[in-house]
Each structure stands twice: as structure tokens, then as C-alpha cells.
Amino acid sequence: MMIDLSGRTALVSGSTQGIGYAIAERLARSGAHVVVNGRGASTEDAAARLRTAVPDAAVTAVAADLSTADGAAAMLDAMPRLDILVNNLGIFEAKPVLEISDAEWTRFFEVNVLSAVRLIRLYLPGMMERGWGRVQSIASDSAVVTPIEMVHYGMTKTALLAVTRGYAKAAAGTGVTVNSVIAGPTHTAGVETFVGDLVGDDVPWDEAQRRFMREHRPYSLIQRLIEPEEIANMVAYLCSDQASATTGGALRVDGGYVDAILP
């Protein structure tokens, strides 16, 4: 399947590393003009890496804290029009649920949910007026299978599924599709740290990964961490013209972790 996003402008929030960067690179390889986003100097660094990886790519770096209303407004000033919006920005941590403070619940909701809500609210009307657009929110298996070690994170990803479905209804009949991608346990630098915290920093990575999957994610059918590029492939498809009849959905790239026929 040849995915051609030439002429499309795509913002990937939180795209300086991990899943976000992999998505940005995949969209750039498909011909999109990609807007890389982070909060500081890492944004320009990521854009430079992307230009090296995809020499003919059109890449714009916009540093803005999209977990805030001011940051979302700054993004709109820098990029008044988008064809594709990928809400990837998110934070996670392991913490016993009875120890999570009000401030931490609020911070997780602000970063993981309201960042997406604000950006969709800003860019969806323009897409609807033009009759074409793609909006995606990167959710998680934790939205469906609440992890005991990070309930606050799981809560935000459940909320993200709901608001994304709601915005899909708002865009009905306009030519704009709005979907969520349910990512399973994925191999990123942050997850390596997370795994180390759970199974021990002194355990070699290959063994730590096996122990993490066996002890904490035992229902994975692929029995390994997913690579970020595997998430990016689904995102690229949903951004394409070929996915024009897929909207309001929650599509799984979870390695079969969620034990259900439907999401």
C-alpha cells in the first residue's frame, strides 16, 4: 500500500523522542510537511535528526508547552492551518493509587487529556470547512486494562478514548476522520526507565524486558515490547486517503494485550 501525504501538513505533539518521533518520521517519509513539537531546545534537535533521516522532508520545529492553553495558542499562531493532527503528548509514572495527590491527578489530566482537547478544538473547525482532515489521539492499552501501578495514567487514556469519539461525532459528514490508536507496551527510553523501576535497575535489559512482560503484561500475545515504528505504521495509514471510511474508532496496536475481540 503506497501512502502519499504530499501536500498535507501534520502536527505531532510531543514528538522529540519515542513514539512521537517515530510517527513524525513515518509521516515525513510519506511526504507530509511535519511539525515537530517539544518544550525547548530538544525540539530543534529532533527536527535536525528528522531532516537527516529523511533528507527531502519538509520539517518545521515549534517549541511550545502544549499542556497549557498558552502553549496551544502559540502553536496556532505558528501553524494556523493543519491537515493532520496527532495528539501524542503524554506523561506516565508508576505510583500506588492511594498515594496520588489531587495535584498529580490534575497534572495528568491536563497533559494527557486537555492538551488533545484544546488542539482538536482549535484545528478541527478548519478541517471541517475544507472538507478533509485527520485527527488521531494516541491512547494506550491502559485505557481498557487499568494498570494497578499507574491508575492516574490509565484514567487519562480512558478519557481520551471518550473525547476522541465525541469529536468524531462532531465531524460527521465533513470528510474529516477522528480516531484513537490504542498503543500497547512500547519500547521507548521512558519505558526502559519504567521497566527498571519495576524489576530492578541492575537487571540486564533483555532479561528485564522478559520479566516485565511475564510479570506485569502477561496477556501480550507477541510477548515482547512493541517498537515505536509499529505504532507509526498504523498512524500513517489512518492519515491516508485509504482510511477515509475509518472514523470514531479505537484501533489497537497492542500486541494482542487487551483480551477482547472489540476494543
Residue 137 has pLDDT above 80, yes or no: yes
Cα–chain center distance at 225: 16
Mean pLDDT, rounded, for 223-240 = 96
| Tens digits of residue pLDDT in 148-166 | 999 999 999 999 999 999 9
Domain locations in the chain as residue ranges: 9-185+227-253, 187-225
At 86 the three-state DSSP class reads: strand
Which amino acid would we find at residue 168? A
Pairing state of beta strands 59-63 and 84-87? unpaired
Catalytic residues: 153
Residue 194 has pLDDT above 90, yes or no: no
Confidence class of residue 190 from pLDDT cuts 50, 70 and 90? confident
Residue 27 has pLDDT above 80, yes or no: yes
Pairing state of beta strands 133-140 and 9-12? unpaired
Residue 1 has pLDDT above 80, yes or no: no
Confidence class of residue 260 from pLDDT cuts 50, 70 and 90? confident
Within 13 Å, how many C-alpha atoms sit on residue 72's CB side? 18
Per-residue cell: 195: 521497566
What percentage of the chain exceeds 70 in pLDDT? Answer: 100
| Tens digits of residue pLDDT in 96-124 | 999 999 999 999 999 999 999 999 999 99
Residue 50's pLDDT is what?
Answer: 98
User: Per DSSP, what are the bridge partners of residue 139?
Assistant: 182
To 10 degrees, the CA torsion angle through 24, 138, 183, 109?
130
DSSP per-residue letters across 143-194: GTS--TT-HHHHHHHHHHHHHHHHHHHHTTTTTEEEEEEEE-SB--HHHHHH
Residue 10's pLDDT is what?
Answer: 98
DSSP per-residue letters across 192-220: HHHHHHHH-TTS-HHHHHHHHHHHH-TT-
What distance in Å separates the CA atoms of residue 58 and residue 54, rounded to the nearest whole number?
A: 9
Average pLDDT of the chain to the nearest whole number = 95
To 10 degrees, the CA torsion angle through 36, 40, 45, 51?
20
Predicted structure pTM score: 0.94
Cα–chain center distance at 104: 21
What architecture does CATH give domain 9-185+227-253? 3-Layer(aba) Sandwich (3.40)
| Tens digits of residue pLDDT in 172-181 | 999 999 999 9
Confidence class of residue 217 from pLDDT cuts 50, 70 and 90? confident
Residue 39's pLDDT is what?
Answer: 94
Residue 263 has pLDDT above 80, yes or no: no
What distance in Å separates the CA atoms of residue 134 and residue 243, rounded to the nearest whole number?
A: 10
Residue 18's pLDDT is what?
Answer: 94
Contacts of 147 (CB under 8 A, 6+ apart): 153, 154, 216
Which amino acid would we find at residue 28? A
Per-residue cell: 253: 496496536
